[in-house]
Amino acid sequence: MEKQKSLFLSKLEENQDKLYRLCSIYSDNDEDSKDLFQEVLVQIWKSMSSFKGNSSIGTWMFRIALNVCLRFKSKYTKNQNRFIRLDSMTIFNIGSKIVNESNDEKLIALRKCFKKLNDGDKTIVALYLEELTYREISDILGLSENHIAVKIKRIKSKLFNCINEIL
């Protein structure tokens, strides 16, 4: 149990920022991101005893996080029509730099285009931006490396075209 706890804490230390960013893609606000991240951690901890070592533990953690995020998104989408969302200016933290999206036209365009992507494409982009290799992304998603490379190229093209239309 102590070894499992130590492994969990060390791998969480390495991957927590990446996991949180993945959670933030599947949620609309900071509070939901925090709740989703908390749920991801609980599920990873509950599953620690089932880790077989067939992949790296980081890849395994991402797979669990992705499954939790997709379940959250599915539940959220079902309940979305029950609530009225009041949008305000969005401010989010990237590393130690605070970015105010209302001041950056290109960032606003990118976020709009990113929201138009389907969940699968959003996931691929998120993992790619976390600097995971095509092999790691393919292990997480269960797709071939070649398929991931083709998808990334197509997604980049979609985002580029969308941003150019907006700007």
Q: Is residue 91 part of a domain?
A: no
CA distance 92 to 1: 37
Q: Is residue 132 part of a domain?
A: yes
Q: What angle do CA 95, 45, 32 make, to 5 degrees?
A: 50
CA distance 43 to 86: 31
Q: Is residue 158 part of a domain?
A: yes
Q: What is the CATH number of the domain that holds 39?
A: 1.10.1740.10
> pLDDT tens digit string along 55-65?
889 999 999 99
Domain shared by 77 and 104, yes or no: no
Domain shared by 23 and 69, yes or no: yes
Binned at pLDDT 50, 70 and 90, residue 78 comes out as low
Domain shared by 122 and 78, yes or no: no
Domain shared by 53 and 106, yes or no: no
Residue 70 has pLDDT above 80, yes or no: yes
Taking each continuous run of H as one helix and of E as one strand, the counts in the chain are 7, 2
Question: Percentage of the chain surpassing pLDDT 70?
Answer: 83
Domain membership of residue 40 as a residue range: 1-86
pLDDT of amino acid 27: 86
- Phi and psi at 30, nearest 5°, equal -65, -40
pLDDT of amino acid 80: 55
CA distance 20 to 86: 23
Tell me the longest C-alpha to C-alpha distance in the chain.
Answer: 54
> pLDDT tens digit string along 86-107?
444 444 444 444 445 445 788 8
Q: Is residue 94 part of a domain?
A: no
Tokens of 90: 């969005």
Contact 166, 112 (CB under 8 A): yes
Q: Is residue 118 part of a domain?
A: yes
Q: Is residue 93 part of a domain?
A: no
Q: What is the CATH number of the domain that holds 150?
A: 1.10.10.10
> pLDDT tens digit string along 111-143?
889 889 998 999 999 999 888 999 999 999 999
CA distance 99 to 145: 33
Give how many domains the chain has, as a whole number. 2
Closest CA to 24 of 123, 97, 103, 105: 123
Residue 107's CB is within 10 A of a number of other CB atoms, namely 13
**Domain finish residue from 61, 86, 111:** 86
**Domain finish residue from 45, 63, 86:** 86
Domain shared by 81 and 108, yes or no: no
Residue 37 has pLDDT above 70, yes or no: yes
Residue 26 has pLDDT above 70, yes or no: yes
Q: Is residue 75 part of a domain?
A: yes
Domain shared by 58 and 34, yes or no: yes
Q: Name the β-bridge partners of 98.
A: 93
The single-letter DSSP state of residue 100 is E
Pairing of strands 91-94, 97-100: antiparallel
